[in-house]
Amino acid sequence: MSAQSPAGSPGEPRVKRLMAPDITAKKGVEPIVSLTSYHAHTAAIADRYCDFLLVGDSLGMVMHGYETTVPVPLELMIMHGRAVTRGAKRALVVIDMPFGTYEESPSVAFRNAARVMKETDCGAVKLEGGRRMSETIRYLVDRGIPVMAHIGLTPQSINVIGGFKAQGREAAQWAAIEEDARQVAEAGAFSVVLEAMAEPLAARITEAIPIPTIGIGASAACDGQILVMEDMLGLSQRVPKFVKEFGAIGAAIERAISGYADEVRARTFPATEHTYAMKATSAAPVAAPATRVTKKPKTPNT
């Protein structure tokens, strides 16, 4: 069941959903395309173009107005995860493990990741961290949970890093980051996100490890790319330097809403075509003509 889309309407062909090994197999074959997705409707559109969709914990900032991803609860990831697995039929759906749900021990990570998989029908989870998470990655993979790793800038560690800072821009940092990449691959991660990382380092890691690297603010040499969908659509107020806006959806929404507000105020919406006439067989009840309720003008105090 999890390898296929949920049953659609009768007669609708069932679509084979990509699985974690399908993503790994794309390394060296073709670029991997991915986006974040938080809702069923955007998932249904992105599904036609993407190999995997990530229900990223960035949804806390993008959708729910948090300043960082640190406060995001597991329940929120599960709720949005369910919407995306319902909307997407073909793409692998990967769900982020939020801060505090996996770092404590491999068994805590397993309990929470298993809950995410059972309650959402997603095909993999993502967690942040390199070497320090390799034991947990191995533990989850050995027990049937595909894991995408995430190194470079790891936003859940913002309070330790001291800001959303690009990583590996000093040669002295390279060895540690390369070691992170090697160890998550050895532990069994099926791919690894490289976030906000010096370009030559991302290219070098991509060459060095056997699993696909998914770049975000990293390098065109990565095996795949991901962006936060709202950022690339032009819907976010502020975006990081590495985002290219492929759309201007924020401006389109603004135009639509201001047009609606103007027409409501001018009473030109709804027009006749948006209203229901009485049935021809039914006469309108005889009643006093409707009167508009208007506010009484204020009487002067004097």
- Select the span of 42-50, 56-64, 197-205, 232-240 touching ligand KIV (CB under 6 A): 56-64
Within 201-220, the residues that bind ligand KIV by CB under 6 A are 216
Shortest CB 36 distance to ligand KIV, Å? 4
Which one of 228, 229, 232, 235 is in contact with ligand KIV (CB under 6 A)? 228
Shortest CB 122 distance to ligand KIV, Å? 14
36 binds ligand KIV (CB under 6 A): yes
Which one of 226, 229, 232, 235 is in contact with ligand KIV (CB under 6 A)? 226
Is the Cβ of residue 58 or residue 120 nearer to ligand KIV in the bound state? 58
User: Are 194 and 151 spatial neighbours (Cβ–Cβ below 8 Å)?
Assistant: yes
Per-residue contact string for residues 94-113; x = within reach of ligand KIV by CB under 6 A = --x-----------------
Shortest CB 56 distance to ligand KIV, Å? 2
93 binds ligand KIV (CB under 6 A): no
User: Catalytic site residue 207?
Assistant: no
How many positions of this chain bind ligand KIV (CB under 6 A)?
Answer: 12
Shortest CB 180 distance to ligand KIV, Å? 15
193 binds ligand KIV (CB under 6 A): yes
d(CA 98, CA 284): 59
Shortest CB 88 distance to ligand KIV, Å? 16
| Catalytic residue chosen out of the listed positions 128, 178, 195, 230 | 195
Q: Which residues are catalytic?
A: 195
